[in-house]
Amino acid sequence: MSSPQIALIALIIVPVIMIMVLYANATLVFLSLCLGAVVTQFLAHDIEDFANLFFPQANLAPYEFKVGLVLAPALLTTLLMVRSVKGVRYWLNILPAAAVGGLVPLLVVPLLPSMAREPITHVALWQGLSRAQDLVVGGGALVSLLFLWVQRTRHAKEPSDKKSS
């Protein structure tokens, strides 16, 4: 097994294992990953300029900064959602966790410099994953929305303030 294959497998498997071991809500992690991608697409340059203004010594490469912007919301959500899934929902949580595992490399690999990205893009697993990106994104979004709608808390009916006549 080559290094690019191992790196790609790690990008897929590590997020799934983290989510499942920490009993984190994978639906919220998936949506946080999507948020990170949107923030990176629209605000990365402005945030990088702002960060360089206050932390010029950080000297991060643009790809490092963008990868951090993509992953930071998902990592924070994973840590904040520890032990948030219990019972049967834990086993159902594998569906959005798998979507996270598929989405992480789809978002991170294109941001890598060409010397790191090119070997990964020649791996058969990457080619299959990139062909299935519509399924990963669309299926993950659909499953996440369904889980959000099902997991909403049910509030007890509050007594009405109307006076009986």
Instruction: Write the pLDDT tens digit of every residue in 54-113.
Output: 988 888 899 999 999 999 999 999 999 999 999 999 999 999 999 999 999 999 999 999
What is the C-alpha separation between 116 and 64, in angstroms, rounded? 12
In a domain, 159, yes or no: no
Encoded amino acid at 88, one letter: V
Question: What percent of the chain is modeled with pLDDT above 70?
Answer: 92
On whether the CB atoms of residues 120 and 109 are closer than 8 A, the answer is yes
Evaluate whether residue 120 is within a structural domain: yes
Domain span including residue 104: 3-151
Please give the DSSP secondary-structure letter assigned to residue 153.
Answer: P
In a 3-state reduction of DSSP, which class is residue 15?
Answer: helix
Q: What's the total number of domains in the chain?
A: 1
The reply to whether 24 falls in a domain is yes
Please tell me the pTM assigned to this model: 0.90
Asked if residue 165 is part of any domain, the answer here is: no
Judge whether 76 lies within some domain: yes
